[in-house]
Structure 1
């Protein structure tokens, strides 16, 4: 995992269509959701023609739409799967700014699969610890490393 600090989160997500064949309208809906705010943490998933911005607790809720989407690409090869953790720290000119953590999709999906089976209090605790890890114990990266990730998923 690597993290980019002090990023315009909408600008980072807007780079994805330059490197992956995703649906621009789908991305625009995610950007609207991100700009609308309401929370500080999001999980973002993109894979060939599709992308989704999710509320992390819903991703860990067994059988939820968000959970099923996050787990859908575990056994599929081919196109890279991009998985990001976005943390909004502040708003500048109506745009959310914060950190972008680049996730290993397979590891993240394994984590979601494993902890989705736990009772709600344990899932909540795990998500708090995971969020802390994404925010504090991750190696920093450059925008060039982010672009490389957007190209390859690695």
Structure 2
């Protein structure tokens, strides 16, 4: 029917079971289709879309009755409802920096792979995927350093 979330903290917030987002269609007579597409709610009889969730939450804005409007309603569910649930759950958890550093070391050892390259000194270079991992790990390291400076 709609959008299910299965990312970080999905189990804690109810994921796709309790929070499935969808673009609800408002019909000309003011009724809401509640995800139903039938002769009762024909595809050409709606005046707009509103972000909704199976938990009962709904947005306030009515988006145009176009593909772009439907996409905007889906985005509104994600930004106005789902992200708030994820953020609230994330605030309940903290990870100590030493655990992040250990994880970074483990990822570096497991994920950084090389491939032969006769054009570089030593004859090997990191694979493209490994370079991406390396960049992400470098950014995380900089973030941890910044956090340490701010807490002094």
The reply to whether TM is greater than 0.5 is no
The higher-RCO structure (CA 8 Å, 6+ apart) is: 1
Query: Which is strand-richer, 1 or 2?
Result: 1
TM-score, L = length of structure 2:
0.25
